[in-house]
Amino acid sequence: MVTFEFGQDDWGVAGWGVRLGYATVEVAGRVVVGAMREVREVGHGRLAGGVEWAEWEGDVAGEPGLRVRLEARWGNTGAGGVVRMRWTWVSQGVRRLTKVGGSDQAGYLSLPKAALGRVWEVGLSDFVELSHSYTLMERELSAEEMAVGAEVMGPLLVVEREGGGVVVMGYEHGSQHPDCFVRFAVGRGGVELGAVKGNYLAGQDISSSPFVSPWLHVGVGEDLGEVARRYRRFMLREQSENAESRKPYIYYNSWNHQERIHDWQGRPYLDDMRQERIELEVEVAGRIGVDTFVIDTGWYQKTGDWEVNRERFPDGLAKISGMLRERGMRLGLWFDNAAALSSRMFAEHGDCVMGVGGKRGEPSPIWETEASHRLCPVSRWWSAFADELIRLHGQTGVTYFKLDAIQQMNVWAAVPHYCCDEPGHDHGDASHTAAERGERFAYLLPLYMAKIAERVREKVPGSILDFDMTEGGRCFGLSFLSAGKFFLINNGPYFWSYNIPKPEKYSPNLLFYPGPARSANARTTCGFDKWLPLTTMLTHYLPDDGENFQTDTLASLMLGHGGIWGDLCGISADGVERLGGWLRKYKVVRDAVAFACPVVTGRAGGTPEIHEKLFEGRGVVCLFAQTPTEVKYVSRSAAAGKWSATAGVEVSLRGDGRAEVRARFAKGETAKFVLFGV
């Protein structure tokens, strides 16, 4: 178990002991160091999954009436060495936070007087337009950068100590790189993690509004690889109390079919959003082995009030909910932060409409439904929205909530800007500048979205909130993952992502059509799996007929993305049996696949591209190729003596227990896989 002390001495990792610097804030124009004295434990307990927590409080030396609380959480699931913590500053009398230099002045974590070796930044939120997705970025800092002082966004930093041992530091927030709200400073004096903008308001009185840091992560290991494995397992088993959000379920979503009828047939998006069609889809989804059936936009009468559209679903989804329960599936529904002009929600929360520069956003139709306003999640609306989701669970049984179209920044404007700077919300008032209110909105947005998810989870056990991250300008990061999961990719890039004008009469999505290019593009995000389990990154693949194409889909989604969408009713009986047969086998080992750290050879779309996900011998090896070839592979880990493989694959076990896999790819074949332990 890793242990921590606070002080200004040299840090080390011998015996997993780490010395960290004290937190700091700027009060009344001067920096205050949170050196606690007379420290006392004020709480201790155990959370779901065996995670323990404790909270300590101490008076700040030389600052009468000022106290600091430290809350920490740690697990005993075998991940080891990763602690989640946060600071809270409170005062018995009026004390105001300031920004004398014009920017936030708060320090959260530091490794003082560090004898640094190698240092790596691990970025999560670089939005790469060619794949149209947030993408993992790992970068080693050069000695020259550190000599002059480097500032990096992270949200993870891996620090090697001269003489041995590695520390990983991280923070829970979310924004598109390089828009930075918290940053690491790395230099000769060590490493510091601190605020940049939006973390607090100038003049914030911490006697009435305590200053709370973001959740912070600190872990240790022998080297970079071990730290990554421990951190990934922490994210899988310990960071979130919502275990459902980490399970490797198979999800179906109706949206791709809605796109197809619009873009291929010229019909409205909502033309097939009807009882009869959805019942047919439920039948097929059950035979395939879907766990969560998501009805996308159009199931509701109007946004904001989220009542089932009785013209489309006369019984209010009662029969569909029953069909899903009978087949072992859960119901999922689509939502966003809009409220129709005639809705009760808008009438009661008109003051929560988003606005910029003193001008509220204009109402507009939401997917062929009534014109609506966007409401600000960082306002009192957040709790009303959460309560609406909870109410709807009682009415329909829904337990999966897809949250879409909630932007942090308008990246399409001539001058990109944060999406709300209205006074009177929870991100500032008229005494603060519009710029400060906008920064505060952007900082708080991922935290408030996590609050919504937590409130729903507490009232609806087993629920999952899925936050759509399929476009730029959204708050991708570690904060929301503490309570839910991400919807990472739908169709990928648009034609204009490659500077190609949109062809007439075609979908604007470049990879809208069946074929291996779509799945290869989606697999570019498998790099996240080194640090964040792919079960937190829902991505959808097409189930259309064709043995090779369905094999490609199965091999891709089995790695952890878990999503299917398309025309379920158009799949042949053979195709349904093929998908269902393999997914039944996959479900036998999917927990092992989720827990296994990835071993990857090659790159997405290359030949060969190989993914190994084996834990205690059970799991999957997926092989991809774009040309006819023979691929030979020896597993890194030992494999179970029982397996099931696709056609053209031969498997044998070596004396050391590792598997030898030989896969022959004929023309037109792009994917093969072996399930071990079935």
3-6 vs 17-20, strand pairing mode: parallel
**Whole-angstrom distance, CA of residue 78 vs CA of residue 25:** 35
**Whole-angstrom distance, CA of residue 295 vs CA of residue 323:** 14
**Using an 8 Å Cβ cutoff, are 180 and 196 in contact?**
yes
Alpha carbon distance, N-terminus to C-terminus of the chain: 35
- 254: three-class secondary structure by DSSP: coil
* pLDDT tens string 431-459: 999 999 999 999 999 999 999 999 999 99
Mean pLDDT is lowest, of 1-10, 17-26, 139-148, 564-573, for: 1-10
Q: Does the pLDDT at position 588 exceed 80?
A: yes
Instruction: Report the pLDDT value the prediction gives residue 246, as an integer from 0 to 100.
Output: 97
Show the tokens assigned to 74: 């740690």
Average pLDDT over residues 101-108: 94
Instruction: Report the pLDDT value the prediction gives residue 15, as an integer from 0 to 100.
Output: 46
Q: Does the pLDDT at position 656 exceed 50?
A: yes
Mean pLDDT is lowest, of 27-41, 76-90, 358-372, for: 76-90
DSSP β-bridge partners for residue 16? none
Amino acid at 86: R
**Whole-angstrom distance, CA of residue 52 vs CA of residue 35:** 24
| 599 or 512, which is more confident | 599
Q: Does the pLDDT at position 4 exceed 80?
A: no
Place of tokens 């015996």: 15
Taking the CA atoms of the chain, what radius of gyration do you get in angstroms?
25
Instruction: Report the pLDDT value the prediction gives residue 14, as an integer from 0 to 100.
Output: 46
Show the tokens assigned to 432: 């603060």
Q: Which of the four pLDDT bands, split at 50, 70 and 90, describes residue 7? A: low
Amino acid at 294: V
Task: Report DSSP state, residue 243.
Answer: G
SS3 content of the chain, % helix, strand, coil (to 5): 25, 35, 40
330-335 vs 292-295, strand pairing mode: parallel
Phi, psi angles (nearest 5°) of residue 49: 80, 10
Instruction: Report the pLDDT value the prediction gives residue 114, as an integer from 0 to 100.
Output: 65
* pLDDT tens string 207-238: 999 999 999 999 988 899 999 999 999 999 99
Q: Does the pLDDT at position 3 exceed 70?
A: no
Instruction: Report the pLDDT value the prediction gives residue 22, as an integer from 0 to 100.
Output: 86
Q: In which region does residue 111 sit, left (phi positive, over 0), alpha (psi from -120 to 50) or beta (all else)?
A: beta
Instruction: Report the pLDDT value the prediction gives residue 78, as an integer from 0 to 100.
Output: 47
Contacting residues for 364 by C-beta, under 8 A, at least 6 apart: 371, 372
Average pLDDT over the chain, rounded to an integer: 94
What percent of the chain has pLDDT above 70?
96
What percent of the chain has pLDDT above 90?
88
| 508 or 560, which is more confident | 560
Instruction: Report the pLDDT value the prediction gives residue 505, as an integer from 0 to 100.
Output: 76
Q: Which of the four pLDDT bands, split at 50, 70 and 90, describes residue 161? A: confident
Helices (H), 78-166: 143-148
Instruction: Report the pLDDT value the prediction gives residue 504, as an integer from 0 to 100.
Output: 81
Q: Please calculate the CA angle 202-204-210 and round it to the nearest 5 degrees.
A: 140
Instruction: Report the pLDDT value the prediction gives residue 2, as an integer from 0 to 100.
Output: 55
**Whole-angstrom distance, CA of residue 431 vs CA of residue 417:** 20
Question: DSSP letter string over 427-491?
Answer: TB-TTS-HHHHHHHHHHHHHHHHHHHHHHHHHHSTT-EEEEE--SSSS--SSSGGGT-EEEEESS
- 53: three-class secondary structure by DSSP: strand
Average pLDDT over residues 236-241: 95
Q: Does the pLDDT at position 316 exceed 70?
A: yes
C-alpha closest to that of 408 among 122, 134, 85: 134
**Whole-angstrom distance, CA of residue 284 vs CA of residue 153:** 45
Average pLDDT over residues 102-122: 88
Contacting residues for 433 by C-beta, under 8 A, at least 6 apart: none
Instruction: Report the pLDDT value the prediction gives residue 188, as an integer from 0 to 100.
Output: 76
Q: Does the pLDDT at position 5 exceed 70?
A: no
* pLDDT tens string 541-556: 999 999 999 999 999 9
* pLDDT tens string 482-519: 999 999 998 899 999 999 998 887 789 999 888 999 99
Q: Does the pLDDT at position 9 exceed 60?
A: no
**Using an 8 Å Cβ cutoff, are 166 and 222 in contact?**
yes
**Whole-angstrom distance, CA of residue 536 vs CA of residue 236:** 8
Q: Does the pLDDT at position 537 exceed 90?
A: yes
Q: Which of the four pLDDT bands, split at 50, 70 and 90, describes residue 17? A: low
* pLDDT tens string 423-433: 999 999 999 99
Average pLDDT over residues 280-292: 98
